[in-house]
Amino acid sequence: MAVLDAVELYRFFHIGDDETAALRGVSLSLDAGETVALVGPSGSGKSTLINCLTGLDEPDGGWVSINKERLTRRSETVRARLRARTFGIMLQSGNLFQHLTIEDNIMFQMQIAGKTDAKRVLSLLEAVGISHRGKSYPPTLSGGEIARAGLATVVAADPPILIADEPTAEVDAQTEELLFELFEHRKRTGLTTLLSTHSNALALHADRIIHIRDGRILDA
């Protein structure tokens, strides 16, 4: 059963007299318990699509619904409520509060969802391979450690839909395998994951690959 539907999404950006079509009639669905890889070159529209799917941005045409409830062209209050209830969103940066330790970032995300479980914080840190960095602050971490900490934070409350933009960027092959297992665990528990990625290895672990180029879906 589809938990997310996007129908004929268009998004245009204007700089002076120039117009760029970032999305050109994109349609897709995500099913419960499905892991999907979104693959395309830089500038293909992946990040714009993520923003429209999660209600962080409004498409110029088309619509998105979550469990048959319309997300598009609703007030920011309604969109924010649906986001909080439905999504874990991992962007390429800005996923962590700089003044909190990594453990506190994860716990804060769980508290927002009404969950507190110190053991889960430790297990997530272990799952992404940074159990030794729990007491550290984000500015002291490497790029790869920040990516892993951000992922642990956004999955902490088991969001029904995880949307992650380049979750394995700046990590080595051994760490990538740890993240694969994290995504497999979500699948086994019936949770949906959309991974925007350049990683062939990550894409091959998905149930389905969606290719996007020049703002258009090539197949789905």
* pLDDT < 70 positions in the chain: 220
Domains identified in the chain, total number: 1
At 171 the pLDDT is 76
What pLDDT, on the 0 to 100 scale, is given for residue 179? 86
Please tell me the predicted confidence (pLDDT) of residue 1.
Answer: 83
Is residue 204 classed as helix, strand or coil in its secondary structure? helix
Per-residue model confidence (pLDDT) at position 124? 94
pLDDT at 86: 94
Range of the domain at 165: 35-58+84-219
Whose CA is closest to 94, among 182, 27, 165?
A: 165
- Give the tens place of pLDDT for each residue, 34-77: 999 999 998 999 999 999 999 999 999 999 999 999 999 999 99
User: Rounded to the nearest 5 degrees, what angle is found at the Cα of 184, between the Cα atoms of 89 and 162?
Assistant: 10
CB 157 within 8 A of CB 112: yes
Q: Kindly report whether the global pTM for this prediction surpasses the value 0.85.
A: yes
Q: What's 48's domain CATH number?
A: 3.40.50.300
- Predicted pLDDT at 22: 96
- From residue 128, alpha-carbon distances to 13, 30, 131, 151, 172 in Å are 36, 25, 8, 8, 12
Q: Are strands 35-39 and 192-197 parallel, antiparallel or unpaired?
A: parallel
Does a structural domain hold residue 2?
A: no
Mean pLDDT, rounded, of the chain: 92
99 belongs to a structural domain? yes
DSSP notation for 133-145 = GTTS-GGGS-HHH
Is 189 part of a structural domain of the chain? Answer: yes
